[in-house]
Chains A and B, each alone.
Chain A
Amino acid sequence: MLAYTIRRLLMLIPVLIGMSLITFSIIHLIPGNPAQVILGEQASPQAIASLEEQLGLNEPYFVQYGNYVAGILQGDLGTSLRTRGEISTEILPYLAATIELTIFALIFAVIVGVNAGIISAWRQNSMFDYTAMIIALVGVSMPIFWLGLMQQWVFAQELGWLPAFGRANPRDPVETTTYFYLIDTIINGRFDQWWTSFKHLILPGIALGTIPMAIIARMTRSSMLEVLRQDYMRTVEAKGSKTFTVIYRHGFKNAVIPVLTVVGLQTGTLLGGALLTETIFSWPGIGRYVYEAIGNRDYPVIQSGILVIATMFVLINLVVDLLYSYIDPRIKY
C-alpha cells in the first residue's frame, strides 16, 4: 500500500509537468504581442515594453518556462496585472470559498444520491424506485442556473427562509484567518455567525449538488443491482445477517467503486466549473475569480487559476485511485 502510494505520487510528476507546460503556453497562445493585447490598442510603446519586461517576455522560451516553474515551486504564482497583488495570497479566499461550497454540495449529493440509489436498487420497480429515478433524470437534465433562480425565488424571496447571496451577512462580516467561514466562526466562538454562514451555503450547495446527486443516484442504483444478484449476497443472508448489514456492509461496499469514480470526477468538475452557481449566488469563489480575470485580460491570474484547479483535479483522482485499492484487496498495481 505504501509502495503503491509512493509510486502514484511519483507518477504525478509528469502530469504536473504537462500541466505547467499548458498553463505556461496560455500567455504565448495570444495572437500577436501578448503585452500589446493585454494593454489594448491605445497603449504606449513604453508601457508595452515595461509589461514585456515584467512578464519576462524578452527572455528565450525555456528560460521563461524555467522561471515560471521555479516560481511555482516556491509558491510564487506571479502578480496580478490589475491589482498588482501577489496571486498566491490573493487566490486563497476564493479557493477556500469554492472548497467550502464544493464540500457542502458534495456531502449533500453523496448522502442523498447514494441512499436513493441503494433503496431504488433494493426495492427495484417499486414506487420509490420510479419516483427517485424520475427525480434523478430531471436532476441530470436541469439547467443549474434555472434551478438556482427558482430556489432563490421560492426560499429567499417568497418564503424568506434562507439568504440568496454571498457567504455571510455583509453588515456583520466574518473575521477570517483560514478563509473557511465554518471554521473561522468556530475559532472566533461566534456560533450565531456559524449558523448564518451555514444558511448561506444551503441554496448554492443544493444547486451545485443536484447534478452530481442525480448522477450518483443512477450510478449507485445500477451498480447495486449488479451486486445484489451476486452469490455472496445470498451467503451473507444465509448467515442470518440483518437486512441493513446485507445491503450496506456487503452490498454497497461491493458497489462503491464505480460510484467513487463518479464522485471523484464530479468533485473535480465542481471545483473548477462552479462558475454559473457562483455567479447566481454571488459566491466569491475561484470560478468567478478566473472569470473576472478573463474579462480583465489578467493573464497571470488566468494561468494560476487554471493551474490550481487542474492540480486539485489531479489530486482528487489520486485520492480516488488510492481508495480503490484500500477498498478492494484485489486491486494491486
Chain B
Amino acid sequence: MKKPVLEVNQLQTHFFTDRGEVPAVDNVSFEIHSGEVLGVVGESGCGKSVTSLSVMGLIPKPPGKIVGGEILFRPQQDEGEKEENLVKVSKKRMRQIRGNQIAMIFQEPMTSLDPLYKIGYQIIEGVRNHRAVSKKEGRQIAIDMLKLVGIPRAEEIVDEYPHQLSGGMRQRVMIAIAMACDPEVLIADEPTTALDVTIQAQILELMKKLNREKGTAIMMITHDLGVVAEMCDRVVVMYAGKVVEQGDVRTILKSPKHPYTQGLIRSLPKMGKRESRLYSIPGNVPKPGSIKNGCRFAARCPAVFDRCYQENPELIEMKEGHACRCFLYDSKEAEVSHV
C-alpha cells in the first residue's frame, strides 16, 4: 500500500498568551491517503482549525507556535517516496507548497475574497505564484476553473468583482482558486457552514466530484455529521485539542465507541421520530490547558468513573484502523468488569 500523502504525527501547536501557554492542538496524529476524504469532526474550539492552519503553515505567530511533532508531506507524483517535514521546511519552501500542492478553502466565502480585485485575477494570482503563465493563458485557466466549479457565464464572471456574487458562488470561486494548481491535498475548513442548505449540498457535490475526478485528497473539517456521512471515507473526532476517536466512516457513525462520539451522534435529530427535546451533551468544551490530569471529557461524560479524573487515557486500537481514547476499552478495565 502506498504511503499516505499527508501524515501528521504527534502534532503540538501551542498558543502563548498572557494567561500562559495554551495547547490548542495536543499530540494529534492522523493520515490522509491520496484520493481519500478525511473528516475532522468536533465542536467549536476543539482545535480542528488550528490543526489545518498548522498543516498550511499559517498559524499566526506570535502567539501560536508548533512546539512538537511532525507533518510529513509526500507528493504522489514522486510515487510517495520523497517526504518533507512541513514543520521543518524553510519559509520559502513552505510558500512553494502552499497553494500549489496543498491548498485550502475557508469557512467564510463572503469575506474570503479580496473585494478590490476581479475574480479572474484572484484565481490566476495563485497559479502565477507557482508557475510562469502569460496573461492570455492565465485568463483561459481562470475561465476553465470557473467552468470546472460549475459557474455559469464564466467568461463574464471572470471580470466581475466578489461583491457581485452570492455566497454560494463565492465559495465556488474559492474552490476554483484552491484547485487552480491541481493540489494533492485540499483542506476545507467548514466550507459549507456559512451557506444555506441547498447551496451546501451543491458545494459538497462539487467537492466530491473533484475528489473523484482529480484524485485530490480532501481534509474536511466540519462539525456537521451530515457532511461527514455524505463525504468522508474516514473520520477523526477531536475534543479539546486531542483526537478521541478515529476510524472509517461506517464504524464511527454506526458503532461509535467513545462516549463523546456517541453523544454527538445522539444529538442529531432523527427522521420520522418526534422527540420533545433534542438530546444534547451537557456542559461545555473545557478551555484547552485547563485540565491537567485525567480525561478531558470526564466532566461531561455519562460513563465517567474515578480513574477518568486521575489518569490520561491513551488512544486504544480497537480493531484495524479504529482507535478510541477511553478507559472503558482499556484491557485492565475489561479484566475488572469480568471479575
Residues of A bordering B, CB below 8 Å: 230-232, 234-242, 250, 253-254, 327-330
Q: How far is the CA of A281 from the CA of B56 in the complex (A)?
A: 56
In the complex, A253 Cα to B117 Cα: how many Å?
A: 10
* Contact in complex: B98, A232 (CB < 8 Å): no
**Contact residues in B for A231 (Cβ distance below 8 Å):** 106, 108, 111-112
Asked if B99 and A329 make an inter-chain contact with CB atoms under 8 angstroms apart, the answer reads no
Select from chain A the residue with minimum beta-carbon distance to B96: A240
Residue B83 lies at the interface, judged by CB distance under 8 Å to chain A: no
- Find out whether the CB atom of A328 lies under 8 angstroms from the CB atom of B115: yes
State the Cβ distance, B40 to closest chain A Cβ, in Å: 17
User: What CA separation (Å) do A240 and B125 show in the bound complex?
Assistant: 9
List residues of chain A with CB within 8 A of the CB of B96.
Answer: 240
As a 0/1 sequence over residues 129 to 142 of chain B, the CB contacts with chain A under 8 angstroms (1 = contact) are 11000000000000
In the assembled complex, the CB of A246 is this many whole angstroms from the nearest CB of chain B, namely 10
A238 adjacent to B100 (CB under 8 Å) = no
> Which residues of chain A are within 8 angstroms of B56 by Cβ–Cβ distance?
238
Q: A230-B111, A236-B114, A240-B130 are in contact. List 11 more A-B contacts (CB 8 A).
A: A231-B112, A232-B111, A232-B114, A235-B122, A238-B56, A239-B125, A240-B95, A240-B96, A240-B129, A242-B95, A253-B116
The interface residues of chain B lying within 8 Å CB-to-CB of A230 are 111
Distance A236 CA – B174 CA, assembled complex (angstroms): 11
Query: Is B177 positioned at the interface, with any CB of A under 8 Å from its CB?
Result: yes
Residues B113 and A232 in contact, CB atoms below 8 Å apart? yes
| A234-B58, A330-B161 as given contacts; A239 in contact with B126, CB under 8 Å | yes
How many B residues have CB within 8 A of the partner chain?
29
B-side contacts of A237, CB under 8 Å: 58, 98
- Which residue of A235, A240, A241, A254 is within 8 Å of B106 (Cβ)? A235
B103 at the interface (CB under 8 A from A): yes
Determine the distance from Cα of A324 to Cα of B104 in the docked complex, in whole angstroms. 32
How far does the alpha carbon of A115 sit from the alpha carbon of B29 in the complex, in Å?
A: 42
Can you list 21 A-B contacts (CB < 8 A)? A231-B111, A232-B115, A235-B106, A236-B125, A238-B103, A238-B106, A238-B178, A239-B99, A239-B177, A240-B95, A240-B100, A240-B126, A240-B129, A241-B125, A242-B95, A242-B129, A250-B117, A253-B116, A254-B114, A329-B161, A330-B161
Q: Give B118's nearest chain A residue, CB to CB.
A: A329
CB distance from B175 to the nearest CB of A (A): 12
For A240, the closest partner residue in chain B by CB is: B99
> Is B97 positioned at the interface, with any CB of A under 8 Å from its CB?
yes
Give A20 Cβ to nearest chain B Cβ, in Å: 38
B219 to chain A, nearest CB (A): 14
B98 close to A240 (CB less than 8 A): yes
CB distance from B311 to the nearest CB of A (A): 39
B163 in contact (CB, < 8 A) = yes
Q: B112 near A232 (CB under 8 angstroms)? A: yes
**Docked CA distance A250–B161 (Å):** 14
Contact assessment for B98 and A239 in the assembled complex, using a CB-CB cutoff below 8 Å: yes
A237 to B99, CA, bound (A): 8
Asked whether A235 lies within 8 Å of B98 as measured between CB atoms, the reply is no
Residue numbers in A under 8 Å from B111 (CB-CB): 230-232
* Distance in angstroms between the alpha carbons of A230 and B111 in the assembled complex: 7
In the complex, what distance in Å separates the CA atom of A250 from the CA atom of B130? Answer: 18
In angstroms, Cα B95 to Cα A141, docked, is 43
Given A235-B106, A235-B174, A330-B163, residue A241 in contact with residue B129 (CB < 8 A): yes
In the bound assembly, the distance between CA atoms of A235 and B115 in angstroms comes to: 12
Chain B residues within an 8 Å CB radius of A254: 114-116
A239 and B58 in contact (CB under 8 A), knowing A253-B116, A254-B114, A328-B116?
A: no
**Interchain nearest-CB distance for A315 vs B (Å):** 25
Which 5 pairs show the lowest CB-CB distances between chains A and B? A240-B99, A239-B126, A239-B99, A231-B111, A240-B98
Q: How far is the CA of A75 from the CA of B98 in the complex (A)?
A: 62
What distance in Å separates the Cβ of B132 from its nearest Cβ neighbour in chain A? 15
Question: Considering the chains assembled together, what is the distance between the CA atoms of A329 and B163 in angstroms?
Answer: 9
B103 contact set on A, CB distance < 8 A: 238-239
